[in-house]
Amino acid sequence: MDNLSQFNEAFFEEAQEHLETMETMLLDYDVDYPDIEDLNSVFRAAHSIKGGSAIFGFNAMTGLTHVMENMLDQARNEELALTNELITVLLETVDVLKDILHSYRNDEEIDWDTVETSKARLESELEEASSGVIENPSESQLQEQGDTLTEVEDEGFGFFDDEPVAEKSEDDQGFGFFDDPIDTPIVNDPEEDEQGFGFFDDAPAAPAKQESSDEDEIEGFGFFDDAPAAPMKQEISDEGEIEGFGLFDHETEENSPKTVSSEEASDDSQSEEDSHQNISKESSGLSDNEGYGFFDESMKARQEQDKIDNRKGYGIYPKDENVAVSNASAKSPKAKPKNTAATKTSESKSSEATSIRVETVKIDKLVNLVGELVITQSMLNLIGNEVQESVAEKMMGALAELERNTREIQEAVMSVRMLPISFVFNRFPRLVRDLSTKMNKQIELVIEGASTEIDKNLVEKISDPLTHLIRNSADHGIETPDVRKAAGKSEKGTVRLSAVQKGGEIVISILDDGAGLNRERIIAKAEEKGIDLPEPLTDEAVWQLIFAPGFSTAAEITDVSGRGVGMDVVRRNIESLGGRVDIQSAQGIGTEFIISLPLTLAILDGMCVEAEKQIFVVPLVNIVESIQPMSDQIRVIKGSKILWAREEYWPLVDIGKVLGGRAQSIDTMDLSESIIVLVETAKSRFGLVVDTLVGQQQVVIKSLERHYRRVDGVAGATIMGDGGVALILDVDSLTQFISSDLGGASYAVRAAG
């Protein structure tokens, strides 16, 4: 299998995705109103992992997923009702699988004990749950069926083997073939259509996809994908596979006990026979599924093993169809016109082809290069302004065009880096479920705005702080059911996690309808811990106290939260991303944590200002207003100048002095020619004294620390249009340069932590 090891990474990634799918689906699963389609998805995910792991020889996964698959299979065939307990067991199995995957990925020893325990547990649950419900066909019976099947299938579908080779004609014929059944409405599960077509798309399209089958694929796909791609499959097929799961199961048999595939084999074989009869009786009764089998078959007419494939194709679909038909008719029967399905084909085809995996390094490089391009473009613009005479106009036109294109490229590249925030949010339903079980609380997690896009780097870094805040809401916020009841609330608490883009910021809110923060307890605790209380003691200021290091008001320390190490880390993490956390809380009603983050870490909207002949960039998000002060707006208090504007005093930071190297202080200067940029951060408000405003510009943030070191008051550097370097101001850290000591109370209102 050495030649397969190069695909290991692909398998790991696929498996990881499948596991996540399973987890999400299981969490969404409503035991009272089971959704067979969801179950199918989970089943397919389990199956894909089983197949893939078997091929690569990751036996620990194969065995476990197989049992899991059995349970899921019975569930989706409505032979077994999934209870909450069973879901929990399944979720735990998913965890075990994740561990195994991790072990395989890192070449670590497999913890077989855990694997076996988990397997045994699943098996016993399965036995218990299904005892008396399902007749398990004996193995010998299976074998028989398998044997006879070979023949039957060959006969039945031999006709397909003769289908022409060329792909185009296959398509035509394929659809022609479907045209007949259109007249006869067929009750069918719509999903089967998609799946079937999905496969149809996959097989020719993606040899690189290999054994990894897509979320939407049904079991057959994994195999079919492979068949044309990997020569080793031919071998296997030649040996005479009998079921749709052929490839995977076959591998499984090699690597693990024979019995593994027996049950499926039986299901498949039975249904194969059934459907085969159907087909021979009336062609118009052909289901989509069978039709796909046909597609599949003709696809592979060029392949040697087509007959076998064909058999396999049929092996799968009828089985699903049986489920689907009964299922669909139990609900509202749907007639599915074939031409709709055909349209779907092209749709899913395009969606298949439009998603690729790219290493993040490559994207980062692209982003850097685009940054360079933006700089070069603004250089050209500068030069273009100097061009004289006849070509000037043409030049300007071309430059404007270039500028437009550059901006578009930049936006496009940046959007590549953007991921929906659901990448982070998706792990929280599980967290909340586990927490509520552990703490005997009823908590519902509502997620909103999961499709809001956020820079990839932020996705990684925001996950920990969010986890912490959600734990916090679940643990400290939401009360136990009896307390809630006594307070006249519904027993079930709600944690609402939402994300929304507001201008250049992403605002993430974690809102719970729990007890709210306790003002007195926080103040008491702060005093106990010797934390300075802010003046005035507004609610806002009190809430910010919980971010102080070592602060925790939880009466008892649970293993969930309460050690008080978290909140200060949360705030620090978020601030290191250029974001801030605000808290709103009302006793008895709930608490809301509001996290505001910049959209991206790489590009910044800034205002260029000049001080002492040097250009500085002030982040636009911090700017409140820029004013040219009237002389009566400047007051002198204790020898320091402060500004009266917007009905309050603003302490001043003199950029020319603190960063521009000017010796003279503004306190002895005439400020009537200066510009004061009023800025605001989470902690403070003050005015930056600069010489002139140069203009608003998007700048690419470059690290100063990469080759130099951190500089107080400077967040980074950027390269201007003329190729020179300008420093980007870090408004937060500029507060230390505030010259007036009287501004203290007004600027430090919220700087309590």
Partner 1 sequence: MPSEQQGNASTMPTREFLTFVLGDETYALDIMTVKEIRGYEATTKIANAPDFIKGVINLRGDIVPIIDLRIKFGIGEPTYNEWTIVIMLNIQERIVGIVVDGVSDVMNLEDEEIKPAPEFGVAFDSKYLHGLAALDDHMVIIVDIEELISSDELGIFESA
Site for partner 1, rule CB under 8 A: 368, 371-372, 375, 614, 658-661, 702-714, 717, 719, 723-727
Pairing outcome for strands 505-512 and 685-690: unpaired
CA 449 to chain centre: 12
Is the Cβ of residue 678 or residue 726 nearer to partner 1 in the bound state? 726
Q: How far is the CB of 552 from partner 1 (least distance, A)?
A: 32
What residues pair up with 604 in beta bridges, in sequence order?
699
Element (H, E) at 330: helix 306-330
Q: How far is the CB of 663 from partner 1 (least distance, A)?
A: 13
Cα dihedral across residues 734, 737, 741, 743: positive or negative? negative
Q: How far is the CB of 480 from partner 1 (least distance, A)?
A: 48
Is the Cβ of residue 163 or residue 654 nearer to partner 1 in the bound state? 654
Integer-rounded Cα radius of gyration of the chain: 33
What residues pair up with 150 in beta bridges, in sequence order?
none
Contacting residues for 427 by C-beta, under 8 A, at least 6 apart: 463, 467
**Residue reference for tokens 């035991």:** 31
Q: How far is the CB of 227 from partner 1 (least distance, A)?
A: 48
Distance, in Å, from the CA atom of 221 to the CA atom of 590, rounded to the nearest integer, reads 48
Q: How far is the CB of 353 from partner 1 (least distance, A)?
A: 34
DSSP for 444-507, please give it. Answer: EEEEE-TT-EEEHHHHHHHHHHHHHHHHHIIIIISPPHHHHHHTTS-SEEEEEEEEEEETTEEE
Output phi, psi for 594, to 5 deg: -115, 115
Q: How far is the CB of 399 from partner 1 (least distance, A)?
A: 21
Q: How far is the CB of 371 from partner 1 (least distance, A)?
A: 7
> Helix 84-105 and helix 8-28: axis angle, to 10°?
160
Tokens of 10: 């692909």
Contacting residues for 280 by C-beta, under 8 A, at least 6 apart: 156
Output phi, psi for 535, to 5 deg: -120, 135
216-243 burial by CB neighbour count: b if 16+ within 10 A, else e? bbbbbbbbbbbbbbbeebeebbeeebbb
Is the Cβ of residue 542 or residue 726 nearer to partner 1 in the bound state? 726
Residue 193: name the closest of 351, 309, 284, 324 by CA: 324
Distance, in Å, from the CA atom of 742 to the CA atom of 593, rounded to the nearest integer, reads 31
Residue 26: name the closest of 59, 78, 68 by CA: 68
Q: How far is the CB of 404 from partner 1 (least distance, A)?
A: 23
Q: How far is the CB of 415 from partner 1 (least distance, A)?
A: 22
Is the Cβ of residue 164 or residue 661 nearer to partner 1 in the bound state? 661
Is the Cβ of residue 207 or residue 723 nearer to partner 1 in the bound state? 723
Output phi, psi for 580, to 5 deg: -150, 160
Q: How far is the CB of 712 from partner 1 (least distance, A)?
A: 7
Is the Cβ of residue 630 or residue 725 nearer to partner 1 in the bound state? 725
Is the Cβ of residue 511 or residue 717 nearer to partner 1 in the bound state? 717
Residue 19: name the closest of 212, 220, 223 by CA: 212
Is the Cβ of residue 33 or residue 708 nearer to partner 1 in the bound state? 708
Is the Cβ of residue 365 or residue 485 nearer to partner 1 in the bound state? 365
Is the Cβ of residue 371 or residue 534 nearer to partner 1 in the bound state? 371
